[in-house]
Structure 1
């Protein structure tokens, strides 16, 4: 069983909050631990927002408690009446995260059956200790770079399989592939986007995330791959250019990596287009449809490669420039 960071933070923060509250002689010191548990969040951004929402809700709850309990009385029905007013207030102010936290303060005030200045100060200290320790613990967030790199590698492996299977199908109409990589790519992209979002929230001063553009690029490439699949099924095996396209896809499958060598394949694609243009004009409806599908397929491949080309500086260009400088 794996113990997560939130569990560890909760296990450390709860007794720490109780100990601090007890050391300061705060009434209902156990409540400080409850407040800390409620404040542990999965990201720094959520932690700051949660802390503000809970603190604000607790202050409003204290004011409402003083008005309702001291005016109407300490009665269970009054608690219900107050909540009927308090909860819509938190919804209106968009601080509903603080409902559970402030409920602890409301019940503490109700159970005391009185409100002195010292007791209200105690409750304020409970809020500061509970929310504050939760906020301090959430300042530490483990880096998600390792997980994101793992998602990147798995995603590229699945892209390689899909491209290779396309080549196999074009070459020999192999239909043994179950297509599980398609589903896996969808899952990996969803998981990666969630990780990127969480990691972005852990770096409040960083406007752009290094992995966001990468996974967005792969997502758009995946959409193009899905559009290619029905097109390759319509290519006849005996068509002269089919073998060249199969070889192209096989080469493309070996070139799925974080680098950028798209320009090489764009050049190869241009050669394929020239070959395609040199073919005899279609003489039947079937040949015409085949050429139309082939034209669309070449267009989708080009868009696929252009996405990678625009994503980052070409590694091929840098290598070529280095070679050119050496020759000079």
Structure 2
């Protein structure tokens, strides 16, 4: 009898967990030292404000401060007018929730609910209470912002994604070249799905890395993954045309040799000019060759020319990226 034993997830303390724990302890300590009422709420606010990126943390923090101030003022007005009872709380939320959504500060809804419930429990409002709650907000949000100043560098992971994507591109191109030379080579094509997943993950990580730079704007990796994503679309368009070829010709051998060389040159470096020149030379050589004599030869030649066209698009995509990078470098140097 085979027993399936599930493995427990590995116990792990991530940097975000560490920041949350330290931030909660620090904020509750500060609020307690200042003798604030409901000082434990400062830790709750800090926990809610710990974010994945610096930019998101900054934007959400301002939203939470504004939402809490509005909640304090509105709850004071509603409670003093209708009394401190469940009915007035329902009326308050009925008015408050659409207001924060309209102002696009709904990220502060949960935090502000913690604050307005303090007033409900106290059944009173005064400026002393207002400043107590305001200090809780500022301590909770301030400590969270302090914790979010540290974000681990993703450079190593980004480089790993880039390397793995380039290896996959190299394999796929080499397989296409092999098919053009030998016909069916029993390739299972697993690299296609793997590359698609790597591109999505790499692009997502690059976007997160960009959002961790508040003053410094560096989107090199994001542009790179975006470029590879577009090139991958070209490869996917190429594959049905390559697989439709069943007869070996001089032109197909030339294209196969060209793709094979291209597969060995997949890297962050710019070899586009060289390969574009080689492509034009191959096109010129094709024009000097004898015209197709049969319908089958004509269709084969047409398919091969389309493959050459797509290979040019593949190279132009990278050439465009390098031109944009050069322009950006020149503008920064001025």
TM-score of the superposition, structure 1-length normalised? 0.91
Deviation of 1:309 (Å): 3.1
- Greater shift in the superposed pair: 255-264 or 157-166: 255-264
Cα distance in 1, alignment partners of residues 139 and 276 from structure 2: 61
Provide the C-alpha distance between the structure 1 equivalents of 2:317 and 2:288, rounded to a whole number of angstroms. Answer: 28
Deviation at 1:131, TM superposition (A): 0.9
Q: Which structure 1 segments of 5+ residues have no match?
A: 314-328
Aligned 8 A contact 1:172 1:237 in 2:
no
The RMSD of aligned alpha carbons is 1.5
Is the 8 Å Cα contact of residues 171 and 237 (structure 1) preserved in structure 2?
Answer: no
Question: What CA distance in whole angstroms lies between the structure 2 residues aligned with 1:11 and 1:84?
Answer: 34
1:208 offset after TM fit, Å? Answer: 4.2
**Could you say which residue in structure 1 is the equivalent of 2:86?**
76
Distance in structure 2 (CA, Å) of the matches to 1:290 and 1:44: 55
For residues 305 and 210 of structure 1, the distance between their equivalents in structure 2, rounded to whole angstroms, comes to 18
Query: Who is 1:61 aligned against?
Result: 71
Number of residue pairs matched by the alignment: 313
Write the distance in 2 (CA, Å) between the matches of 1:267 and 1:308.
Answer: 15
State whether residues 251 and 304 of structure 2, in contact with CA within 8 Å, keep that contact through their aligned partners in structure 1.
no
Q: Tell me the equivalent position of 2:265.
A: 255
Task: Indicate the larger mover: 128-137 or 190-199.
Answer: 190-199
Residue aligning to 1:237: 247
Who is 2:212 aligned against? Answer: 202
Task: Tell me, yes or no, if the aligned pair for 2:180 and 2:248 is still in contact at 8 Å.
Answer: no
Query: Could you tell me which residue of structure 1 aligns to residue 326 of structure 2?
Result: none
CA distance in 1, matches of 2:300, 2:248: 11
* Contact 2:24/2:42, CA 8 A, preserved across alignment: yes
**Which residue of the other structure, out of 150, 155, 161, is the alignment partner of 2:160?**
150
Is the 1:236–1:242 Cα contact (8 Å) retained in structure 2?
no
Match among 110, 123, 133 for residue 113 of structure 1:
123
Q: Report the Cα distance in structure 1 between the residues aligned to 2:321 and 2:211, rounded to whole angstroms.
A: 23
| Counterparts of residues 1-328 of structure 1 (less than 5 Å) | 1=10, 2-312=12-322
Q: How much does 1:175 deviate?
A: 4.4
Structure 2 Cα separation of the partners of residues 128 and 207 of structure 1: 28
TM-score computed with the length of structure 2 as normaliser: 0.90
> Is contact 1:105–1:123 with CA below 8 Å preserved after alignment?
yes
Q: What is residue 327 of structure 2 aligned with on the other side?
A: none
